[in-house]
Structure 1
Amino acid sequence: MVLAAWRRWRERRTLATRPIPDAMWRSTLARYAFLAALPPGDAQRLRDMATLFLAQKEFTGAGGLEVTDDMAVTIAAQACLPVLELGLHWYDSFVTIVLHPDEVVAAREVTDEFGIVHHYEEALVGEALGDGPMMLSWRGVTDAAHTDGPVYNVVIHEFAHVIELRSGDATGIPPLPDAASREHWRRVIEASHLRLVRRIDAGADTVLDPYGAESVSEFFAVACEGFFVAGAALREDDPYLYELLKGFFRQDPAERQAP
């Protein structure tokens, strides 16, 4: 009880002494339509959460990149949106966020069914490990402000993986209260994933990033991008998936983004 009271005092002190500057916060919201659509009360709660997020996390620039306050706020605002109703403790598993100027080429290896190890390289704009650090590309972050084509948001994508990994595995299923909930989630998300794969194979346009076809885990992260950035489009395209995410995140982006 004493510890909880101390934490509340520390949070109040952080909000009072280290607030995000008004002009910086307004410009952050203005750059991203899905953030600008937040009602004033929700925008203020997001601002407070982003302030606490910045106090808890450490940003490190790589490749000669200098991380500015504006860059950190841009990332914090988007990262906090998925946990606006869940709580900032969902991100307690890591502290460091490494920001690169552009994509990073990572060496990978995979063992096939015959035990043969294959080596390859993969270009990354972001990567989330359960216990950190988080890696992001600043170019990937800024690209999210563009609205042409399928939904793309690397910050929401990687922080969705952080949420997912709290369940222990990258299965596309976040922590849920019971087996029945997990089974319902599995049925809905696997059906939606298969639907995306079939549409891509047929050459059809998709609301969600085709990268979601890679696996159910990547589909979950891509679906979160669509849910928060283009909620109305996702609700029309896949209402079952939308309702699944709406229930978990306790948010209804389609309603607040309505014209």
Structure 2
Amino acid sequence: MFGIIKDWREQWIVDHSPYTDEQWRRIAAKIDILDRLNDQELTRLIHLAILFLHDKSINGVQGFEVTDAMKQSIALQACLPILNLGLDWYKGWSSVLIYPSSYISETTATDEVGVVHTGYQHRSGEAWLHGPVILSWDDVKDAGRRDGHNVVIHEFVHKLDMLNGRANGFPPIQSAVDRERWTKIMEQGFAEFQYSAKAGIDDYGATSPAEFFAVLSEVFFERPQDLIDAYPDIYQLMVEFFQQQPLS
């Protein structure tokens, strides 16, 4: 009974979207990485994005005005990783904050003797555990162009990673994915990446296992052949995890 009510509610939300299907498809056509989706997949992505915007608020920071088209573009790219997983993978938080450009964020790090150091860093985005996703519009507006960089996908993959605690490169694993195999392949890949750069993959991925997972997820959706060339085993892991085959 609960499932029937949930399905009815979601269909009602989709049917009463403030944006027409034509408007959604016009926005989707501007995001190059979505052109691999067939019509059924694109329709499902649009429905997910509608539910996403109903569930999450997207607001500007520092007086920045977020237009409807911006919200739709962010929602479509945010929902691409969960196309075959479902919106429940983004549960437990409610907002997305948009800065007009890169912003300064305080950072903390603990050295090898336990001393905590604080500093400041320019960021294009970040994801908080149980909190918002924060994005820079200057870095979002050109996302999805198959250049291997996508701050929306990057930060929302962090949110998937945080479903079972702080981001560590080990998100909740479905039964179809072997946990020991995931751990072994990702740990080997991360160790190798720290010593050997790979063409088409941002070296920011070498900073931690969480960033390695997020950076490689960007490449998986943006330039999958680059990931296959660098780490074919990790590409296959991501096919199984995201339940998508970008090169099909």
C-alpha distance in 1, partners of 2:42/2:15? 17
C-alpha contact (below 8 Å) 1:232/1:253 kept by paired residues: no
Which amino acid is the alignment partner of residue 194 of structure 1? A
Counterpart CA distance in 2 for 1:34 and 1:80 is: 13
Q: CA deviation at 1:14?
A: 1.0
TM-score (norm 1): 0.89
Kept in 2, the 8 Å contact 1:15–1:52? The answer is yes
Q: CA 1:113 to 1:236, structure 2 compared with 1: closer, same or farther past 3 Å? A: closer
Gap runs ≥5 in structure 1: none
How much is the aligned-residue C-alpha RMSD, in angstroms?
A: 1.8
Aligned length: 247
> Where does 1:188-199 land on structure 2 (aligned, <5 Å)?
188-199=185-196
Matched, 1:95 2:94: yes
Shift of 1:147: 4.3
Shift of residue 63, structure 1, vs aligned partner: 1.3
Distance change >3 Å, CA 252–CA 145, structure 1 → 2: closer
Moved over 4 A (4+): 145-148
Could you say what secondary structure the match of 2:29 adopts?
helix
- Whichever residue aligns with residue 77 of structure 2, its letter is Q
- Is the contact between residue 102 and residue 139 of structure 1 (CA under 8 Å) also seen in structure 2? yes
Q: Which moved more, 1:215-224 or 1:14-23?
A: 14-23
Compute the displacement of 1:124 (Å): 1.1
**8 Å contact from structure 2 (residues 52, 87) kept in 1:** yes
Look up the match of 2:16: 17
Q: What amino acid does structure 2 have at the position aligned with 1:227?
A: F
Distance 1:237 1:109 in 2: 32
Please say if 1:139 is aligned against 2:138: yes
Tell me, in whole angstroms, the C-alpha distance in 2 between the residues paired with 1:134 and 1:172: 17
Alignment deviations for residues 171-205 of structure 1 (CA, whole Å, 9 cap, x no partner): 21111257x922211111122223322223xxxx5
Counterparts in 2 of 1:19 and 1:235: CA distance versus 1, 3 Å: farther
CA distance in 1, matches of 2:54, 2:174: 30
Query: Which residue of 1 is the match for residue 36 of structure 2?
Result: 37
Q: Partner residue of 1:162?
A: 159
Give the letter aligned to residue 165 of structure 1.
Answer: M
Q: 2:168, 2:210 within 8 Å by CA — same for their partners in 1?
A: yes
Amino acid at match of 1:48: H
Separation in 2, partners of 1:157, 1:60: 19
- Residues 39-74 of structure 1 show CA distances to partners (whole Å, capped at 9, x for unaligned) of 111011001111111111111110111111100000
**Residue in 1 aligned with 2:6?**
7
Residue 26 of structure 1 and its aligned partner are, at CA, apart by: 2.6
- The residue that corresponds to 2:234 in the other structure is 241
CA distance in 2, matches of 1:19, 1:6: 22
1:111-130 to 2 correspondences below 5 Å: 111-130=110-129
Letter in 2 for 1:211: Y
Cα distance in 1 for residues equivalent to 2:202 and 2:92: 27
Q: Find the residue that maps to 2:107 and give its secondary structure.
A: strand
Once the two structures are TM-superposed, the CA of residue 134 in structure 1 deviates from its matched residue by: 1.2
Counterpart for residue 170 of structure 2: 173
Between 1:40-49 and 1:122-131, the stretch displaced more is 122-131
In structure 2, the residue matched to 1:152 is: 149
Indicate how the Cα distance of structure 1 residues 216 and 115 shifts in structure 2: closer, same or farther if over 3 A, else same.
closer
C-alpha change, 1:114 and 1:199, in structure 2 (3 Å) is: closer
Name the % identity: 38
Bigger mean CA deviation after superposition, 152-161 or 12-21: 12-21
Report the alpha carbon displacement of residue 25 of structure 1 after superposing the two structures with TM: 2.0
Other structure's SS at 2:164 match: coil
Question: Aligned to 1:215, which of 208, 230, 240?
Answer: 208
**Which residue does the alignment assign to 1:108?**
107
Shift of 1:155: 0.6
Q: How much does 1:110 deviate? A: 2.3
Aligned to 1:183: 180
Counterpart of 2:205, as a letter, is G
Q: Structure 1 118/52 Cα, relative in aligned 2: closer, same or farther at 3 Å?
A: same
Deviation string 1:205-246 (CA, Å, 9 cap, x unpaired) is 522221111111100001111111112332233211100000
Which residue of structure 2 lines up, in the alignment, with residue 79 of structure 1?
78
Post-superposition offset of 1:94: 0.7
Instruction: Tell me the CA shift for residue 21 of structure 1.
Output: 2.5
Q: Deviations over 1:107-156 (max 9, x none)?
A: 222232333332210111111122111111111111324445xx100010
